[in-house]
Structure 1
């Protein structure tokens, strides 16, 4: 993710990378457990890598004030550990086979151990935040509540009277956007930035979080397995309601016969796979959905969320930090894996 350009920006990029390395060292230290039974599963997803978007955003937001310091780095670690914890739980609930190109934790150990590893990480994140003041504790608690509500609403699905696409976007805002928003606000808080920047960067964070997940819906259909670490159409084969599928359902319900036929074929294939059929059964439907207008519409929706995120920053003065935040939004919707 190239956020800086030019000689001065390259120096800025080097300083940011140095800070990220300090955070990475802190993550390794904080996810070490004396018990060997706990240590291996708790460090598993950290060792698998990741984009570290949340710590990067915390660091950038801190530069709207006095810049990185011990508390900023501690906040970045707490947010990233919370994110990692949520992945353990998500993979158990989704019965995921892969995460970041490696077998999901519950396939290596068990559902129970993966859940407990996630719980350990949530506890460690809370320990970090506990010494950072009442405002930080409250922010983390409210963010954690939104993570849980997002997962609950995704699991239960839209209720009578709910509009499915609006329901889906709210799930993304809660499950992903809320924690990225928290990362941004903590950067302003502990970087001692102007208080009037706190809400705008939170809005920015939530919106790029939704954009990130919408692009993931597109990437799920990508044939570039070496980039995604997953088989093309993993979510589709598992019956996960991504935006391309929801848009297809909307068009089928409006009377488009071609879309209705594709949707019926997808639904039949998903049921067959759930009953033990070869996942390759859905290869033609995955290809058809990838080429369909609904996938282009999903990309366009992601771009609108990213553009809205950038507009949230209008109150910020022009600076290399603001330009980096704008480029981060663009990078998120331009990625292919």
Structure 2
């Protein structure tokens, strides 16, 4: 990658600091409701922080095409509201009790209020998007929402079952990468770019999103609860087979495969410990295999925009894949 000029973290922070603050303020404004509990939940979710990587991508996409209109802030808040709504619903589905080191919203307010608050956030994000008076923007958001819901339903059907890599990549595209892709496409749509440019930026988002989710899944297996802000190995506890686990299942001995199946079926580590599963994964190079796949997708993201005109935003987009792969939580 030596011919490519990649921004530093400090340069990216300087480039986007004001815009991301404006997105935060817009999110706070948009999540206010006359129904007090909705505002309370919205404020709680916003205070929980997060990487804000989806609005970051939308902002960089728009900036890379020379667009700096106010709608980039509104749409940055839209993609973050959509993401936040999915987290609320995911925590309900997974019976999660913590998120980012704090009680999850469903643990504080209960499932009934939170599922409705998540629905409200979805509708509020679409109402905000309507202000663009842009059918293409709405088409992107509707297709995105359908794919995310389909992904969640497919994953629910697969819980406790063994899946292959093709099924895994389809799931993580629907659940994660499609929102990365659409965030990039929305930035291009706001700039009124040509279809080919929007497709190229969308491909960047797709590859980056896949890399992001693979790393997320690896960290779920290997990082501590303190780092993750939620219980370690949550995926296995919920019956989800991720890339490293699929790799080990394909290469392990009969006894090793049975250990993994036991955890997936039990939805816990009562009969087989987390340490035993990690030993199996490391023995077969499964963690390294998954991380190699993440790096390959991150590099594909970089290459998809390598020929774009040089700018501060393009250099920042070249930085993001490295951040995604090397993060610790």
With normalisation by structure 1, the TM-score equals 0.87
- Cα 1:155–1:273 change in 2 (3 A) is closer
Match of 2:311 among 309, 319, 332: 319
CA change 1:295–1:231 in 2 (3 A) is: same
User: Larger deviation: 71-80 or 306-315?
Assistant: 306-315
| Residues in 2 aligned to 1:47 and 1:305: alpha-carbon distance in whole angstroms | 31
Q: 1:210 offset after TM fit, Å?
A: 0.8
Corresponding residue for residue 135 of structure 2? 134
Residue in structure 1 matched with residue 204 of structure 2 by the alignment: 204
Is the 8 Å Cα contact of residues 239 and 263 (structure 2) preserved in structure 1? Answer: no
The Cα shift of 1:88 comes to 1.0
Match of 1:20? Answer: 20
Deviation, 1:320, is 2.7
1:109-258 alignment runs, 5 A limit: 109-132=109-132, 133-157=134-158, 164-252=164-252, 257=253
Confirm or deny: 8 A CA contact 2:241 2:264 kept in the other structure: no
* Contact preservation (8 Å) 2:208, 2:301: yes
What's the Cα RMSD here?
Answer: 2.4
Tell whether the 8 Å contact from 1:64 to 1:321 is kept in structure 2 after alignment. Answer: yes
1:266 corresponds to: 260
The whole-number CA distance in structure 2 between the counterparts of 1:221 and 1:288 is 11
Cα distance in structure 2, aligned partners of 1:331 and 1:185: 21
Q: Secondary structure at the match of 1:232?
A: coil
Aligned residue runs from structure 1 range 27-176, under 5 A: 27-132=27-132, 133-157=134-158, 164-176=164-176
Structure 1 residues 146 and 271: CA distance shift in structure 2, 3 A: closer
1:300 paired with 2:292, answer yes
2 CA distance for matches of 1:273 and 1:206? 30
Counterparts of 2:72 and 2:182, CA distance in 1: 12
In structure 2, relative to structure 1, the CA distance for the partners of 1:234 and 1:286 (3 Å cut) is farther
**Stretch moving more, 222-231 or 89-98:** 222-231
Structure 2: segments with no counterpart, 5+ residues: 1-5
| Contact 2:31–2:38 (CA under 8 A) maintained in structure 1 | no
From 307, 314, 321, the equivalent of 1:329 is 321
Which 4+ residue blocks in structure 1 deviate beyond 6 angstroms? none
CA shift at 1:237, angstroms? 2.5
TM-score normalised by length of structure 2 = 0.89
* Whole-angstrom distance in 2 between the partners of 1:163 and 1:104: 29
Distance 1:269 1:151 in 2: 21
How has the CA–CA distance of structure 1 residues 207 and 282 changed in structure 2, closer, same or farther, with 3 Å as cutoff? Answer: same
- CA positional deviation for 1:263: 2.9
Change (3 A) 1:250 1:315: same
What is the rounded CA distance, in whole Å, between the counterparts of 1:55 and 1:203 in structure 2?
Answer: 17
Mapped to 2, the partners of 1:58 and 1:108 lie a distance apart of 31
